[in-house]
Amino acid sequence: MSLHLPRRGRRAGAQSSRELILASARKLFSEQGYDAASLRQIARGAGVDAAMVHHYFRNKDELFAACVELPADPRAVLADVVAVPVDQRGTAILLTLLTLWDSPVQPALLALVRGAVSSRTQAALLREVLAKRIVGVALLDLPDDDGGKRLRGSLLASQLIGLMVSRYVLRLEPLASASHQEIAALVGPTLQRYLTGPLD
Amino acid sequence: MSLHLPRRGRRAGAQSSRELILASARKLFSEQGYDAASLRQIARGAGVDAAMVHHYFRNKDELFAACVELPADPRAVLADVVAVPVDQRGTAILLTLLTLWDSPVQPALLALVRGAVSSRTQAALLREVLAKRIVGVALLDLPDDDGGKRLRGSLLASQLIGLMVSRYVLRLEPLASASHQEIAALVGPTLQRYLTGPLD
């Protein structure tokens, strides 16, 4: 590739090519979802060669991460959670996410939520992040009872998003100052019920 | 009052006086909260006479509602909920709010949430709305067990905000298309636990 596009990253037009690719990717990911959008389509939308996409982004995954400016890959963050039996996973997910939210990446995560609330495109991207990278991981090994798995995922996401917004954006007290262990005791059972409890 | 300020609402400077009052009120409500901010202070902050505030707004309540541009007074909306026994109130609150969210005022409510997520001042105003007008009503008649009532309120708010954002902003499926009765069966028990269940 370096033969075809030598030092492309250093040249004047480079930034705009990368930006064009990102803009096309954001559009296609948000319209079609992560799985359906192809690198070929994204390149076409940006008016560049497919090789150019590969020059800037190792793969579709890396391109997606750049689109949403994720400060950390949630799947890596949640890797240990998968090892926790499903009947104890609610609290494990919560403690892992609280550690992430209260880490130096917090501003980037809040920017992601702010973007999603104010833009349809970014809302669609956050929806993909939630579905594929957070909820998807949380639901690993759960049986798919007639579409119930997706419903469980969206319920789980609803409480996680609400907790994040109330604690870090609205700063509702005493939730905003509560310790991770306190929140785990309070909200963990909700998540566990959404994951494995009866749904009606 | 009309003697002192005849036809003020029709004159050229009127709009800006009203806007100055609203700006001052938003600042003071968000900095000090609804209870602590006085109409006198708000008038002073706007550089107008206190009588001018009363000219535009009947009382502090009406001024606050104008600040946050609430399309409906949540306390009026939730009035019937107060009559529901506390041990069944979780589902009652949820059904009432779902009816409100799925009514023509939805865009105004989403604007309120969007504003709160992108501005600190508006976040503080929404916090007041939640505390005084939604959670406060939901928690009526509950005993205040050593500050536990405030904690219950913030937990309740966390699930309600999360549901609103996932269903109407992120449009997470199948939650976005679920019927009110379905959501009541799924999320009602969470709200009820936050209201009256054991907290640890």
pTM, 2 dp: 0.80
User: What is the predicted pLDDT for the residue at B143?
Assistant: 78
What tokens appear for B145 in the block? 């067990």
Q: Flag if A174 and B163 touch (Cβ within 8 Å).
A: no
pLDDT tops 90 at residue B46: yes
pLDDT in tens, A132-171: 778 888 888 887 766 788 899 999 999 999 999 999 999 9
CATH number of the domain within which A61 lies = 1.10.10.60
Query: pLDDT digit string (tens) for B99-150?
Result: 989 988 888 888 888 888 878 888 888 888 888 778 888 888 887 776 788 8
Q: Where are the beta strands (DSSP E) in chain B?
A: none
Contact A147 B174 (CB under 8 A): yes
Task: Tell me the pLDDT band of B5, cut-offs 50, 70 and 90.
Answer: very low
- Residue A14, pLDDT score: 59
Residue A3 lies in a domain: no
pLDDT-derived band at B172, boundaries 50, 70, 90:
very high
Using the 3D structure, point to which of B18, B48, B67 is the last residue of a domain.
B67
B129/A15: higher pLDDT: B129
Phi, psi at A165, each rounded to 5°: -65, -40
Based on the fold, state whether residues A46 and A104 are members of the same structural domain: no
- CA B174 to each of CA A35, A68, B163, B171: distance values in angstroms, whole numbers, following the listed order: 19, 23, 12, 9
How distant is the Cα of B165 from the closest Cα of chain A, in angstroms? Answer: 7
Q: Which of residues 102-161 of A touch B (CB under 8 A)?
A: 113-114, 116-118, 123, 126-127, 130-131, 147, 150-151, 153-155, 157-161
| pLDDT of B15 | 61
pLDDT value at residue B188: 96
d(CA A113, CA A165): 8
Mean pLDDT of A43-58: 93
Interface contact flag, B174 A200, Cβ < 8 Å: no
3-state secondary structure of A185: helix
Predicted confidence band of residue A15 (pLDDT cuts 50, 70, 90):
low
pLDDT range class, residue A3, cuts 50, 70, 90: very low
Quote the pLDDT of residue B198. 86
Give the pLDDT band of residue A110 (cuts 50, 70, 90).
Answer: confident
Which residue do the tokens 């508006």 mark?
B122
Nearest C-alpha of chain A: how many angstroms from B89? Answer: 17
Name the minimum distance, in Å, from the CA of B39 to any CA of chain A. 25
User: For residue A59, what are the contacts with CB-CB under 8 A and spacing of at least 6?
Assistant: none
Given this model, what pLDDT does residue B10 score? 45
Rg (CA), chain A: 19
Quick one: closest CA in A to B124, which residue? A170
For residue A39, what pLDDT is reported? 93
Domains contained in chain B, number: 2
Say whether A158 and B172 touch across the interface (CB within 8 A): yes
Do both B60 and B136 map to the same domain?
no
Chain A CB contacts of B112 under 8 Å are none
Tokens standing for residue A150 = 């997706």
Q: What is the chain B residue with the closest CA to A155?
A: B175
The pLDDT of residue B191 is 96
CA distances from B135 to A51, A190, B149, B175 (A): 55, 19, 10, 23
Tell me whether residues B165 and A166 touch, CB distance under 8 A.
Answer: no
Q: What is the CATH number of the domain that holds A109?
A: 1.10.357
How far is the alpha carbon of A119 from chain B, nearest alpha carbon, in Å? 9
Q: Find out whether the peptide bond into B174 is cis, omega within 30 degrees of 0.
A: yes
Give every CB contact of residue A112 below 8 A, 6+ residues apart in sequence. Answer: A68, A69, A70, A122, A126, A129
Say if residue B42 is in the same domain as residue B93.
no
Q: Dig out the tokens for A16 from the structure.
A: 């705009």
Would A120 be classed as within a structural domain? yes
Which domain does A50 fall in, by range? 8-67
Per the structure block, which two tokens stand in for B198? 């054991």
Å from A198 to nearest chain B CA?
A: 9
pLDDT at residue A101 tops 60: yes
Q: How far is CA B146 from CA A45, A186, B139, B151, in A?
A: 59, 16, 14, 10
- Chain B hits for A192, Cβ within 8 Å: none
Contacts of A172 (CB under 8 A, 6+ apart): A166, B127, B130, B131, B153, B154, B157, B158
Cβ-based contacts of B126 with chain A (< 8 Å): 170
- Check if the interface score ipTM surpasses 0.95: no
Residues A177 and A98 in one domain: yes
Answer yes or no: do B136 and B117 share one domain.
Answer: yes
Q: Are residues B100 and B180 in the same domain?
A: yes
| A–B interface: beta-carbon pairs under 8 A | 136
Closest CA to B176 of A63, A131, A5: A131
Q: Which of A155, A181, A200 to mutate to test the interface with B (most CBs of B within 10 A)?
A: A155
Q: What pLDDT is stored for residue B195 in this prediction?
A: 93
Residue A111 pLDDT: 83
| A180 domain residue, yes or no | yes
- The closest CB to that of A166, out of B158, B189, B199, belongs to B158
If you measure CA to CA, which chain B residue comes closest to A177? B151
Whether residues A110 and A22 fall in one domain = no
Q: Is residue B106 part of a domain?
A: yes
Q: Which of B70, B149, B156 is nearest to B108 (CA)?
A: B70
**Residue B14 in tokens:** 């009127």
Joined tokens for residue A126: 């956050």
Q: Which residue has the higher pLDDT, B77 or A94?
A: A94
Instruction: Please report which confidence band the pLDDT of residue B14 belongs to, taking 50, 70 and 90 as the band edges.
Output: low
A57-78 pLDDT, tens digit each: 988 888 888 887 776 777 778 8
Cβ contacts of residue B148 below 8 Å, gap of 6+? Answer: B199
Residue B184 tokens read as: 């009541």
Q: What's the burial of B118, exposed, middle or buried (CB within 10 Å: 0-12/13-18/19+)?
A: middle
Average pLDDT over residues A68-93: 83
CA distance A98 to A160: 10
Same domain, A157 and A174: yes
The confidence band for A6, taking pLDDT boundaries of 50, 70 and 90, is very low
Provide the token pair at A61.
């995954």
In Å, how far is B115's CA from the nearest CA of chain A?
A: 9
Instruction: Specify whether the CB–CB gap between B26 and B8 falls below 8 A.
Output: no
Res A33 pLDDT > 80: no
Q: Would the pLDDT of A8 be above 70?
A: no
Instruction: Read off the amino acid at residue A134.
Output: I
Backbone phi and psi for residue B73, each to the nearest 5 degrees, phi listed first: -80, 115
Q: Which of A67, A85, A103 is the last residue of a domain?
A: A67
Both B113 and B174 in a single domain?
Answer: yes
* Nearest-angstrom CA–CA distance, B193 and A190: 9
